[in-house]
Amino acid sequence: MNLLKKFLFELQEITNLIISAFFGLFKSPRYVKEIIRQMDLIGVGSLPIVLLTGFFTGGVLILQTYPTLVYYGAQAEAGRAVATSLIRELGPVLSALMVSGRIGSAISAELGAMVVSQQIDAMRALGTDPNRKLVAPRIIALILMLPLLTVAADVFGLLGGGIVAKNLYGLDYNLFITSVRNGITTEDIIGGIIKPLFFGLIIGSVSCYKGLSTTDGTVGVGRSTTSAVVLSSIVVIIFDFFLSRAIQSIFDIKPI
């Protein structure tokens, strides 16, 4: 029962944090430079690890599925299998988990350090709202950049799958590309972009909340950082199920 109360309390606090940051966008001052700086840190900084993850995920998909496709005589559909898996599911989720580990931990540690060093109290004393100055730019940057990172991961995943299919199994590039084009639908692309929008909101809000609720000094910073990564990753995975079901219902997409 205590765990349920704690969960509901944290859910309420995170919701209030999101609402406060959202309504703060309509008031001045607007911290546009901070948003751009966070977009650079999140987008450009996370690009290498996201591209690497996408590339080898596509390669592994071909490595694991191609022998099965050959058994059924459907090796020409290898590109379709990789494209469908990446764009619908693996691209958004793996990108979100990578960003959660890299950016979520950084946000929580940064805000937690500001809390224990009383910088947040100093901001409030000077009349600056931490939610508008610190929280809103980070959440907005995550919402804007995570879909772009996901698209990049999808592209490199298809590239990795094509390279593995060609060099290990001798599948012609043109056949692979044709299979990819035939397998991708507009609904898949839209669904693959909608998911990262929500994942960015989850990662940003959870990480900011954990950072701002840090207690017990420097020891608490490490605890908040770990909690932010774990909680945001779990929520992303759980929410992905319900979001996938909703997208299937809206667009009438057949399950993979």
Residue 90 lies in a domain: yes
Q: What is the pLDDT of residue 123?
A: 87
Residue 4 lies in a domain: no
Q: How confident is the model at residue 131 (pLDDT cuts 50, 70, 90)?
A: confident
Q: What is the pLDDT of residue 68?
A: 85
Q: What is the pLDDT of residue 91?
A: 93
- Asked whether the predicted pLDDT for residue 158 surpasses 60, the reply is yes
CA 87 to chain centre: 13
Q: Considering the chain, what is the average pLDDT of its residues?
A: 88
- What's the average model confidence in pLDDT over 131-141? 91
Q: How confident is the model at residue 27 (pLDDT cuts 50, 70, 90)?
A: confident
Residue 126 lies in a domain: yes
- What's the average model confidence in pLDDT over 175-179? 89
Residue 70 lies in a domain: yes
Residue 232 lies in a domain: yes
Structural domain of 210: 31-251
Residue 21 lies in a domain: no
Q: What is the pLDDT of residue 6?
A: 79
- What's the average model confidence in pLDDT over 159-172? 90
Q: How confident is the model at residue 254 (pLDDT cuts 50, 70, 90)?
A: low
User: In angstroms, rounded to a whole number, what is the distance separating the alpha carbons of residues 242 and 183?
Assistant: 23
190: helix, coil or strand? helix
Measured at the alpha carbon of residue 130, what is the angle toward residues 222 and 12, in degrees to the nearest 5? Answer: 75
Q: What is the pLDDT of residue 215?
A: 85
Nearest one of 130, 96, 115, 98 to 223, comparing CA atoms: 115
Return the top range by mean pLDDT from 21-35, 116-130, 195-209: 195-209
User: In angstroms, rounded to a whole number, what is the distance separating the alpha carbons of residues 58 and 178?
Assistant: 16
- High-pLDDT (> 70) share of the chain, %: 98
Q: How many domains does the chain have?
A: 1
**This prediction's pTM:** 0.90
- Asked whether the predicted pLDDT for residue 140 surpasses 90, the reply is yes
User: In angstroms, rounded to a whole number, what is the distance separating the alpha carbons of residues 206 and 79?
Assistant: 36
Residue 113 lies in a domain: yes
- Asked whether the predicted pLDDT for residue 126 surpasses 80, the reply is yes
- Asked whether the predicted pLDDT for residue 35 surpasses 80, the reply is yes
- Asked whether the predicted pLDDT for residue 52 surpasses 90, the reply is yes
Residue 91 lies in a domain: yes
Assign residue 228 a region (left: φ > 0; alpha: ψ between -120 and 50; beta: otherwise).
Answer: alpha
